[in-house]
């Protein structure tokens, strides 16, 4: 495919790639650049994922010509309440900004693009402006079926008032997500299951499933960390951003339902929790054998050191980037069916599925006492990611998709 001029609009800065969304977006940006395309990045900056432009490497800024526009995405109680009387999605409304519109307007007036790619649904409100000022094909890269995350949260919510409010958020977000589809030239879903949803709502020819890719040139197969010693075999860990509702829900469930039973009979097992934005209630926990590491400087090294990764997810959608990274690092991953969505795994070969307290406890007890199984799972997982999530191959697939939607 000849070089294309591509504007990528992101709901977060792809650099630094420190959490799921930015990691996925950065892999896309670098993959397209490595394939010889001209890429321009416009991204939202916020308190939730705040990036100092001067901290981004000069080479990256030169290649991507990245621009950041600050938006205040904090939840405002009055606005959230008034939204109960509106049919507009509160999730989406927070991303609408005059400053961002102006930055986008200037870019479109001064540049000609073949493709404008929207990273996540939340930047879709800018489609009318793009159509007004550009003849580019507009592609949505859907990291999730966004309304499904909130639908699952509402189903799991026990408080009737919270449940009612979550149902309202789900309904308005679902309406926006479905109604925006006719405005698009194509959708790149991140999992086959998500792709099926979009195919049902629009021309199937305009939808493709392309998972999160990794740069295989930078990744080595799992090698046990010699410095970690035998004690790491008795350590399990969770690594993920704790400002994401499904992660918060899952960790609360694990600490309340699973961990007390484990630590009551196995005083030698330690549970470490790492990630960005650890909430106060978790930082201050005094549960036995629970260690809060918070944000770690090198996620790959942390994963390789501790080996057994637990990801208790009961809501969410799309693909969990941290699970892909954990498998890539050679970890033995224990997660739920929902957590493993979008990964074409074989249970007990590349990872272990556990959907309730008993299954999690059984899998953890088995792995901490079985070094060979941990190593086998880790090697199988790393081999699987190197083969199935090769970014160079996936970018070629994306290029072919771009070519099919020229008309």
CATH, domain range 218-388: 3.40.50.2000
Over the stretch 355-368, which tens digit does the pLDDT of each residue have? 999 999 999 999 99
pLDDT at 224 (0 to 100): 43
Over the stretch 32-72, which tens digit does the pLDDT of each residue have? 999 999 999 999 999 988 999 999 999 999 999 999 999 99
Q: Could you identify the residue written with the tokens 């074409």?
A: 344
Whole-angstrom Cα distance, residue 65 to residue 59? 10
Whole-angstrom Cα distance, residue 52 to residue 70? 11
**At residue 220, does pLDDT exceed 70?**
no
pLDDT at 250 (0 to 100): 95
Comparing 149 with 353, the larger pLDDT belongs to 353
**At residue 228, does pLDDT exceed 60?**
no
pLDDT at 82 (0 to 100): 84
- CATH code 3.40.50.2000 for 5-213+390-404: yes
**At residue 12, does pLDDT exceed 60?**
yes
pLDDT at 75 (0 to 100): 85
**At residue 160, does pLDDT exceed 90?**
yes
Whole-angstrom Cα distance, residue 406 to residue 383? 36
**At residue 227, does pLDDT exceed 60?**
no
pLDDT at 219 (0 to 100): 55
3-state SS class at 38: strand
Supply angle C-alpha 366, 20, 255, rounded to 5: 40
Comparing 319 with 289, the larger pLDDT belongs to 289
Fold match flag (5-213+390-404 vs 218-388): yes
How many residues in the chain?
407
Whole-angstrom Cα distance, residue 260 to residue 335? 18
Please name the residue ranges forming H helices in 180-277. 192-201, 245-253, 259-265
User: What percent of the chain lies above the pLDDT cut of 70?
Assistant: 95
Whole-angstrom Cα distance, residue 10 to residue 333? 29
- Contact assessment for residue 211 and residue 345, using Cβ atoms and an 8 Å cutoff: no
**In the structure, what pLDDT confidence band is assigned to residue 287 with cuts at 50, 70 and 90?**
very high
Over the stretch 321-347, which tens digit does the pLDDT of each residue have? 889 989 988 999 999 999 998 898 999
**At residue 122, does pLDDT exceed 90?**
yes
Q: What is the mean pLDDT of residues 194-219?
A: 84
Q: Which two tokens stand for residue 113?
A: 């693009």
**At residue 387, does pLDDT exceed 90?**
no
Whole-prediction pTM: 0.78
Average pLDDT, the chain: 91
**In the structure, what pLDDT confidence band is assigned to residue 221 with cuts at 50, 70 and 90?**
very low
Q: What are the residue ranges spanned by the domains of the chain?
A: 5-213+390-404, 218-388
Q: Which two tokens stand for residue 237?
A: 């860990």
pLDDT at 58 (0 to 100): 97
- Contact assessment for residue 277 and residue 242, using Cβ atoms and an 8 Å cutoff: yes
**In the structure, what pLDDT confidence band is assigned to residue 222 with cuts at 50, 70 and 90?**
very low
Which of the residue ranges 161-175, 180-194, 213-227, 266-280 would you say has the lowest mean pLDDT?
213-227
How is the beta sheet containing 5-10 ordered, strand by strand? 67-70, 38-45, 5-10, 115-119, 137-142, 186-189, 207-209
């Amino acid at each position: 495919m000849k070089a294309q001029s591509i504007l990528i609009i992101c709901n977060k800065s792809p650099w630094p790639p420190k959490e799921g969304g930015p990691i996925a977006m950065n892999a896309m940006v670098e993959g397209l650049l490595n394939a010889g395309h001209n890429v321009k990045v416009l991204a939202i900056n916020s308190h939730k994922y705040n990036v100092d432009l001067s901290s981004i490497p000069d080479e990256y800024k030169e290649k991507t010509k990245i621009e950041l526009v600050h938006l205040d995405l904090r939840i405002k109680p009055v606005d959230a309440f008034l939204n109960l009387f509106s049919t507009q999605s509160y999730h989406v409304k927070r991303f609408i900004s005059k400053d961002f519109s102006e930055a986008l307007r200037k870019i479109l007036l001064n540049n000609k693009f073949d493709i404008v790619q929207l990273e996540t649904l939340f930047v879709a409100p800018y489609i009318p402006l793009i159509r007004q000022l550009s003849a580019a094909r507009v592609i949505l890269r859907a990291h999730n079926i966004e309304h499904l995350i909130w639908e699952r949260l509402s189903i799991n919510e026990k408080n009737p008032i919270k449940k009612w409010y979550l149902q309202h958020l789900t309904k308005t977000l679902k309406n926006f997500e479905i109604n925006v589809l006719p405005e698009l030239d194509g959708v790149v879903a991140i999992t086959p299951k998500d792709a099926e949803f979009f195919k049902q709502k629009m021309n199937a020819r305009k939808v493709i499933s392309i998972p999160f890719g990794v740069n295989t040139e930078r990744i080595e197969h799992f090698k046990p960390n010699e410095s970690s010693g035998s004690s790491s075999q008795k350590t399990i860990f969770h690594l993920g951003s704790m400002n994401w509702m499904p992660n918060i829900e899952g960790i609360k469930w694990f600490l309340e339902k699973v961990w007390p039973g484990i630590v009551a009979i196995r005083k030698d097992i330690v549970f470490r929790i790492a990630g960005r934005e650890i909430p106060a209630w978790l930082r201050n926990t005094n549960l036995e054998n629970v260690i809060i590491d918070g944000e770690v400087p090198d996620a790959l090294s942390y994963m390789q050191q501790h080996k057994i990764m637990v990801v208790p997810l009961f809501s969410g959608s799309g693909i969990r980037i941290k699970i892909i990274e954990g498998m890539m690092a050679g970890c033995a991953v224990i997660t739920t069916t929902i957590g493993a969505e979008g990964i074409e795994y074989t249970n007990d070969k590349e990872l272990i599925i556990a959907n309730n307290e008993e299954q999690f406890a059984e899998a953890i007890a088995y792995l901490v006492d079985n070094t060979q199984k941990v190593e086998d799972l880790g090697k199988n997982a790393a081999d699987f990611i190197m083969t199935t999530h090769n970014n160079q191959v996936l970018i070629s697939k994306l290029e072919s998709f771009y070519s099919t939607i020229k008309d």
